[in-house]
Chains A and B, each alone.
Chain A
Amino acid sequence: MNNLQATAEGALAMMLEQGFTEAQVGASRAEQDEVYIGHNQASMLRSTEEQKLALSGIIDGRRASTELSDFDKEGIAAAVEGLYADALLAPSDEANAVSSAESLDYVDGPQERNLDLLTDKVAELLEFRESQTPLITMDEGGASHRRTESRILTSGGTNISTRVGSYSLLAFGTATEGDQSSSLAYAGGSCRNLDSHATSYFGIDEMLRTTERQIHTRPIEDKFQGEVVLEPSAVSDLLSWLITQLSDMQLLSGSSVFQSSVGELIAADLLSVSSRFDGPGLAPVTGDGFVAKPVNLVERGCLQTLLPSLYGSRKTGIEHCPSGAGWQVAAGATARNELCAGLDRGAWVGRLSMGRPAANGDFSGVIKGSFEIVDGQLGDALAEVMISGNMADMLRNIVAVSAETIDTGSEDLPWLRIAGLNFS
């Protein structure tokens, strides 16, 4: 991987020589080894290499970007020439710019694969399934190691180097008994080491056991307003909607429901969200060439910042916030097994299967991996039950946050109890 720096430097020089007034080059290479499970058996060893050269050039405010996977000099030269022609045709926009003087040399996680470790973890997953949860068919799953090295250089003097290694585990399947099946269920994530039993990571153990209890389900016959306890995988959907509302596309079109909400309460004071840019498998870098900074996004319900890129910031006048990729929701004070206490009627929700929420945050979706809750007690597994509400209202209607969290690498999330959902 020694030629990444040289490749990036060469490409940047070509771009400036071509006539770009500003330029950014990202060169990256990744190697991944994956021991794969198919239908309850180890089935494949997959070794992949990827490389990418991402070029973004600006001339007189006109910008174009390209990516290529061939690193030969002639190919890069042709790409730079084509990029220049594309940029000249783009409309001029003074908001276009590249980062300046950002500097980082970051190394994190296991840099070498350990095939024996990967096969051991797959063997543990398979042995657990067979002995502890035999009704599960592990349709997909496995253990993998990934190493990514990257360089980002800009004409403004930015020089960022990252080398990130991580392990990942996945278990994905269905429980069946006779002619009945559960919904598809999965758990997985990335981490820096695999010292413990495979099923102790990312809630895999609990997911497999819980899915076996969801083969025989029933619908809810009536409509009512109630509460939900969202598992972390469902909380991820809510968090994803929030981040989208605070990011470029919504801000540029002026359609974010939080466009003018910085400094205001947008959520219950139980909710605090902060960045996790240095989580396992993540490089603390943004796509537009900035070193990610710690960001307290929501503090006790109060929105602290929006998340525009450099372009979004210069276009809208909103303060630039290079946040990186990962997020965490702070753990609360309620033990997970106490979250149902006092809950009259509602559901425990494993994941949400839903359409893209409306621009105003309204949504409806099917609750998967779910159990009915009545008078504070978990009841039958549910099927064909929908909830509807509004994403922004859900943030405001959080009534409890669990003390426990699940850390999947890019996200570290607790369970949330939320009121005010319509069940049908």
Chain B
Amino acid sequence: MSEQTANISDPPAQNYREQRHHEVRKTRIVMVDGNIAVNSRTVEGGASARVFDRGYWGFASAPGSRIDIEGLSSKAAVNASAMSRFGARSILNVPAGSYRGEHRFAGKELMSAAECMELLEALHAYCREKYPQLQSSTFILHDEDHSKHLENSFGSDVTNAIQRAACYIFLTAEAADGRPVELFESISGKGSLADLQLSVDRLAPQIESLYQHLQAKRQAVPAQGGEQTIVLSPELAGMLAHEAMGHPCEADIVLGGAVTANLVGQSVGSDKITMVDYAHSYGGSEVLVPVYADDEGTPARDAVLIQDGVLTEFMNSRETAAETSAVPTGNARGYGYSDEPLVRMRNTAILPGTDKLDDIIAEVEHGYYLVKTGNGQADSTTEFMFGIDLGYEIRDGKLGAAIADTTVSGTAINMLKTVDAVSDDMHWTCSGYCGKKQPMIVSMGGPALRGKAHLGGE
């Protein structure tokens, strides 16, 4: 990390220009039952220019590394000018603020192709020998490295790297009725696969845990549908933070009619709930997806979305900050060189409390402990859902039978008000993508929570 400077005192402006070079390198290797189904390395790079002129945006992008960036900028200006056929727009003063700095993660040297293949073959051999009852095993190694350089008319000059890696383990077994049952585990982190320090010895406990959960799931019972007392594992609380209240707190979604628009200053959760979208640091350490300045060159700051149950502010871009008279947060991010920056989350988390997970479960007479999720979706109403791949019944304070795959849903504002216990754990993850016109790398974190929500089932 080089020396950096942030300036947030310049006056707003009615015109704005930015230029971004952006390269994405990915490695993806998929082994299904010992067969390499995918063995791919990709490099996608290019540049974009964006111009804000008299209320309209013009954007242009081109691929490759030898790009006439000034020509691209001119094309973006022509595009912005062409929009005047829709008539004059009210003048918007885009907030200034600039950042100069360079940020790269100093990780380990990349795993070689040979090391990746050796690891996958060892994992397959280990599972085949130790768990012969498995119907199938799939291992996926995924590396993704974004390198961006941005300059804008406010004087920002930022080099930012986002680098993350993930290893996915899928195990499939046969249930008592002969139908397949599947579970997966993801191990993700900042940097490359080498920084995850993957090895059979290190992954063996996680594979054993996954296998034992899979055995329990072979005898799964259906969840009881309807409103239930649920305990969300820390892994799921991060998903709740992201889906349930994260998306409805993105200022473009707010301007699009989300119900959160009129709730700033009002209670949207129990006083045990504090939720923050972190820019680059949490608890004195750099987060998994550090954003020091966003793709508009705005100095990034933490956005405190909910403080002690009260909705406090939204995440924004320069334009939505202007439209909502807010202080910019630095949440404008574009996934690839041909993507314009949109308001996106960075590292969204519900903060830990003081309760112990064991106690939280022990106090439940009848409910469900929800452990793993595959995906989730949000809505402008704060109605959320996420799939539950692994969960257990809670009976008289003790974990019971595994439950079949189900879905948990609810309205976040109602659900968060029912939260009566928050554990002292904190689990961060950065596997998968957030989808909103473009994909995006984000991280999410949280403690275990207890509350009430709707479960799909009989």
B340 contact from A46, A79, A115, A424, Cβ within 8 A: A46
B43:A255 contact, CB within 8 angstroms? no
A358 touches B59 (CB 8 A): no
Looking at the complex, which one of A45, A137, A249, A422 makes contact with B37 (CB distance below 8 Å)?
A: A249
Partner of A47, one of B63, B75, B136: B75
Q: Mark A351-374, 1 if CB is under 8 A from B, else 0.
A: 001111111101111101000000
| Number of interface residues, chain B, beta carbon within 8 A | 87
Residue among B41, B44, B257, B389 with most chain A CB within 10 A: B257
Interface contact A179-B262, CB-CB below 8 Å: yes
A63-B36, A122-B86, A254-B136 given; name 20 further pairs at CB < 8 Å: A41-B89, A44-B79, A45-B83, A49-B338, A65-B41, A72-B66, A89-B114, A91-B34, A91-B36, A183-B379, A184-B380, A223-B226, A248-B37, A355-B387, A355-B405, A360-B175, A366-B409, A368-B379, A388-B458, A424-B456
Task: Give bound CA distance, A87 to B29, whole Å.
Answer: 12
Cβ contact within 8 Å between A46 and B383: no
Partner among B58, B65, B458 whose Cβ is within 8 Å of the Cβ of A45: B58
A130: Cβ under 8 A from any B Cβ: no
Whether the pair B383, A255 counts as a contact (CB closer than 8 A) is no
Give the interface segment out of A102-110, A169-177, A192-200.
A169-177
B2: shortest Cβ distance to chain A, in Å?
Answer: 27
The answer on a CB contact under 8 Å between B454 and A353 is no
List the count of A-B residue pairs having beta carbons below 8 Å apart: 270
Chain A residue, CB-CB nearest to B42 = A67
A119 within 8 Å of B by Cβ?
yes
Q: Which of B413-458 contact A (CB under 8 A)?
A: 437, 454-458
- The answer to whether B385 has its CB under 8 Å from any CB of chain A is yes
Q: A residues 32-46 with Cβ under 8 Å of B?
A: 35-36, 38-39, 41-46
Q: Is A386 an interface residue (CB 8 A)?
A: yes
A242 at interface (Cβ–Cβ under 8 A)? no
Contact assessment for A44 and B386 in the assembled complex, using a CB-CB cutoff below 8 Å: no
Task: Indicate whether A90 reaches chain B with its CB closer than 8 angstroms.
Answer: yes
Q: List 14 A-B contacts (CB under 8 A).
A: A43-B83, A44-B340, A66-B40, A137-B256, A140-B256, A249-B32, A255-B182, A311-B37, A353-B385, A355-B405, A358-B405, A364-B225, A368-B379, A424-B454
Query: What are the 6 A-B residue pairs with the smallest beta carbon separation, nearest first?
Result: A355-B387, A364-B456, A424-B225, A139-B256, A174-B257, A44-B57
CA distance A22 to B381 in the complex (A): 53
Which residues from A are CB-within-8-Å of B42? 66-68
Question: Chain B contacts of A359 at CB under 8 A?
Answer: 172, 179-182
What residue in chain B is nearest A422 (Cβ atoms)? B458
CA gap between A366 and B381 in the complex, in Å: 13
Q: How far is the CA of A44 from the CA of B56 in the complex (A)?
A: 6
The interface bits of chain B over 291-332 (1 if a CB of A lies within 8 angstroms of the residue's CB, else 0) are: 000000000000000000000000000000000000000000
* In the assembled complex, B354 has its CB within 8 A of some CB on chain A: no
Taking a contact as CB atoms under 8 Å apart, the answer to whether B257 and A253 are in contact is no
Name the residue on B nearest A35 (C-beta).
B83
Provide the residues of chain A in CB contact with B383, threshold 8 Å: 183, 366, 383-384
Residue pair A48, B61 in contact (C-beta under 8 Å) = yes
Given A69-B63, A353-B379; A44-B58 close (CB under 8 Å): yes
Q: Return B185 CB to nearest CB of chain A, in Å.
A: 15
Contact with A along B39-74 (1 / 0, CB 8 A): 111111110100000001111111111100000000
> What's the minimum C-beta distance from A98 to chain B, rounded to whole angstroms?
15
The digit string for A246-258, where 1 denotes a CB below 8 A from any CB of B, is 0011001111010
Inter-subunit contact A176/B257 (CB<8 Å): yes
Mark out the residues of chain A between 380 and 423 whose CB falls within 8 Å of any chain B CB in the assembled complex: 383-384, 386-388, 422
State in angstroms the CA–CA spacing of A70 and B45 once bound together: 8
In the complex, whether A64 has a CB less than 8 A from a CB of chain B is: yes
Inter-chain contacts of A354 with B (CB < 8 A)? 385, 387, 407
Return the chain A residue nearest B253 by Cβ: A139
Chain A 48-85 interface residues, beta-carbon cutoff 8 Å to B: 48-52, 63-72, 79, 82-83, 85
A377 within 8 Å of B (CB atoms): no
Verify if A123 is at the interface (C-beta below 8 Å from B): yes
